[in-house]
Structure 1
Amino acid sequence: MSANGRRQDEADRIRALREARTLALARRGEAVRVEGEGSAFLVCACGPERYGLPLAEVAQVVPARPCTALPGASPALLGLVALSGGIVSVLDLARALGRGGTPAEGGHLVVLRGTAVPVALAVDRVVGTGRIGGAEPEGPAPAASALAIGLGSEAVSGYAPARPGSAGAGDFALVDLPRLLRRYLP
């Protein structure tokens, strides 16, 4: 292949990458659709517990990255990260719920939408999506220990047993984000 042919192939590859990136950026603001009835939740693991965050309040999920610590901040506030051209405060979800521990290496940041200050929640991993409401599954709901899922926190508003169509999310505790964040945001 000639040098001109290689340059043309490289230019075509760059053009295709730019078009794909432009389309991805254009879709960034679209809501994630989850089929079925009821409220949709993004289910995240923090240690052995699973917590559901309202999917409508989740902007994006990105791999965890190192934070710049803030001196004198609450132990739940891990620090700040640069993300998508802005500065985002990072809260450890487990610590904010009073569960202790530290996020696992290789975890995720769940970036929230509609907050006064850009905020991301650090979690060990995103498990999948879950749904509550709508048609109930057949058979008895599994029992859950309040201590096992951290229902002692005022920001945990309930419990959702596993149900069909929940993308492997299993049982999870429901997190009331406004209640959780009011302690940390102006």
Structure 2
Amino acid sequence: MTEASEIETGEAARHRALLDERSASLARRGRTRAGVATRPVLLCLCGEDRYGLPLGEVSQVIPARSCTPVPGAPDAVLGLVALSGRVVSVIGLAAAMGGPDPAAPPQGHFVVLRGGGAAVALAVDRVEGIVPVPVAALADPASPGEPRDRPRLGSEAVSVYAAAGPQGGAVVIIDPRHLLRRYLP
């Protein structure tokens, strides 16, 4: 065997191993603990804090950009941006959750939310990805079949603290409708 054919065989074996590893990773992707129904949430980072937004509430994720300030707006309202021909209000998620007000222009990502009313985006430091969270963590207390007196934790916008993601760390699951009540008429 020549040296060139040995190199080709080594590269082919390495390529095959990479494909096998990727296939195994994709096969594990949909697996969850037996008997636990899950739904996807968008995992976002704001400093050290990890927040989850139900994926059904998210329209798109875009890179952060400069905002036009709104005089007299609450501190968590970073300003307005133009997006696809519409004006979008940008709210800093960390500040809205009681964290420090941002000192610098937004960097990271804007998570544009779905909704029939005003267009709103949440500013986050980074979007980490989509992770599964138990359905019980996402249940709306006003939904049929759910107890109406289910307590909210910490903030009215927090529906639950859950373990999610590949490392299984704690994630604060946010209910965007409750979060935005403070900022929208």
Tell whether the structures are fold-level matches, with TM greater than 0.5. yes
1:129 matched residue in structure 2: 130
Distance 1:126 1:60, change over 3 A: same
Q: 1:153 aligns with which of 145, 148, 155?
A: 155
1:48 matched residue in structure 2: 48
- TM-score normalised to structure 1 length: 0.65
Q: C-alpha displacement at 1:171, in angstroms?
A: 2.6
1:109 matched residue in structure 2: 110
5+ long unaligned stretches in structure 2? 1-28, 32-36, 136-152
CA distance in 1, matches of 2:121, 2:70: 15
Q: C-alpha displacement at 1:152, in angstroms?
A: 2.7
1:78 matched residue in structure 2: 78
Percent of matched pairs sharing the same residue = 54
Q: 1:25-45, CA deviations, whole angstroms, 9 ceiling, x for partnerless residues?
A: xxxxxxxxx956412110100
2:121 matched residue in structure 1: 120
Q: C-alpha displacement at 1:168, in angstroms?
A: 5.9
Matches within 5 A, 1:1-186: 35=30, 37-102=37-102, 106-133=107-134, 152-162=154-164, 166=165, 170-186=169-185
RMSD: 2.2
Matched residue SS, 1:73: coil
Moved over 6 A (4+): none
State the aligned residue count.
134
Q: C-alpha displacement at 1:115, in angstroms?
A: 4.1
> Contact 2:50–2:171 at 8 Å: present in 1 too?
yes
CA distance in 2, matches of 1:172, 1:91: 20
5+ long unaligned stretches in structure 1? 1-33, 135-150
Larger Rg: 2
Q: 1:106-131, CA deviations, whole angstroms, 9 ceiling, x for partnerless residues?
A: 31000001141000000000011121
> Contact 1:59–1:112 at 8 Å: present in 2 too?
yes
